[in-house]
Structure 1
Amino acid sequence: MDAAAPQNLTQLAALAAALGWASGMRLYAALFLTGLAGWLQWIALPPGLQLLQHPLVLGASGAMLVVEFITDKVPALDSLWDAVHTFIRIPAGAALAVGALSGAFGGDALVWGTVTALLGGTLAATAHAGKASTRAAVNTSPEPFSNLALSLAGDAAVPGLLWLAWTHPLPFFAVLALAVAAALGLSFTLWRFVRRRLGRLRQ
């Protein structure tokens, strides 16, 4: 089966943005699913992402995907995982975005690579902040079902966004704009909520 090659710069830009955003939510899912799609020849990965389809990299990202999947279902432990990955998801999102567009920079590779890294890192940071603040707020509730529902929704969102970016780039950008707006609003509102709850608990 022949891999589907990227059609144009719009598709590559959508993939870069999707990987940046997905890194902030489920980094290891983004790494594993992208590499698996390339290894199975469902898509032809850009040169900067072809390392992800190497069997050793697939094995490592797959193992971390399982760890993250389980950890994200445990209240409080999920927030600790998010805190640690603040220092991992954002640079990873920047690197993956650059990798997606690595073959499209031309003579201005340094300039456009820097711009892409900034945008990819910003998307990862925004997604991470929205996810972390939402889960921290939900963890203040004693019932476990909302936490599990949010975690499963995140599990489903990453493959959905990656698929949409590859097959329908323009609708993906519309969905991404809504997701960014929602993440920013949630981050601001829910962090204020968590701070009030923690203040009451201290009192």
Structure 2
Amino acid sequence: MSVLPLIFTAGWASGINAYAVVFLLGLFGRIGWTDDVPAGLERTDVLVAAGVLFLIEAVADKIPYLDSFWDAVHTVVRPASGAVVSALIAGQDDSLPTLFAAAVGGTTALASHIVKAGTRMAINTSPEPVTNIAMSTAEDLSVGGIITLAVFFPVLAAVIAAILLAIGLWVVYLCAGRIRRYLRRRRERRETRAVDALE
């Protein structure tokens, strides 16, 4: 059976929390829940590094403004991780061309990253920690739940991920005004700091 559903789901999840995807897939492969995970993700050093980075992200992602800064830093990291993980899965299975798998995983990760970063910008137009914590926790649980589901029911997991991605893109579209307001405020703060530094 093609691993395309797993690749799509891993790409979607990588755009939200790449470290959790690497850690969970590596862990599930290590304990024998799936044969679709490449050995490279099951290595102890990879699991430890992904676990530590996931814990750091779990904290940073719940703090207003810091979460958007973290998202900006990971604009390249998440799509790249989605592409690499997808390519490794395809290489393990040989049912899909590696380059195609990387393109699917990377593109899906970029789309879900845009959703994540966009919704956080919208939330941060009225910063308070409760919404950020709730949103981050929901994202972490969604990634964990859907990656786990993908190991046993990859097609169902891919369908859910596709629905969530479509809903997320629609929400970002609806929140475009708030996102522009956040970006404008950030630019104004940066300009103010630059002027103060010159005085």
Q: Please indicate, yes or no, whether the TM-score normalized by the shorter chain is above 0.5.
A: yes
TM-score of the aligned structures, taking structure 1 as reference length: 0.84
The one-letter code of the counterpart of 2:158 is F
Cα shift at 1:189: 2.5
- Asked whether the equivalents of residues 7 and 104 of structure 2 are also in contact (C-alpha less than 8 Å), the reply is no
Does the 8 A contact of 2:119 with 2:175 survive in 1? yes
For 1:95, the equivalent position in structure 2 comes to: 84
1:1-203 equivalent positions in 2, closer than 5 A = 8-9=1-2, 12-46=3-37, 49-105=38-94, 112-196=97-181, 199=184
Confirm or deny: 8 A CA contact 2:64 2:127 kept in the other structure: no
Match of 2:195 in 1: none
| SS class of match (2:76) | helix
Partners of 1:76 and 1:197 in 2: CA distance:
10
Report if the CA contact (8 A) 2:14-2:21 is conserved.
yes
Q: TM-score, normalised by structure 2?
A: 0.86
- Cα deviation digits, residues 165-203 of structure 1 (max 9, x gap): 22122322321221221122123232332214555896x
Q: How many residues align?
A: 187
- The gaps in structure 1 that reach 5 residues or longer are 1-7
Distance in 1 (CA, whole Å) between partners of 2:98 and 2:45 is: 27
C-alpha contact (below 8 Å) 1:126/1:183 kept by paired residues = no
SS in 2 for 1:101: helix
Q: Which string of whole-angstrom CA distances, capped at 9 and with x for unpartnered residues, describes residues 18-73 of structure 1?
A: 21111100011111111111222222244xx2111111111111111111111111
Which amino acid letter does the alignment assign opposite residue 22 of structure 1? A
Residues in 1 aligned to 2:185 and 2:92: alpha-carbon distance in whole angstroms:
53
Maintained 8 Å contact 1:130/1:187? yes
Segment drifting more, 192-201 vs 58-67: 192-201
Cα distance change on mapping 1:33 and 1:195 into 2, 3 Å: same
Task: Extract structure 1 runs of 4+ deviating beyond 4 A.
Answer: 197-202
Superposition RMSD in Å = 2.0
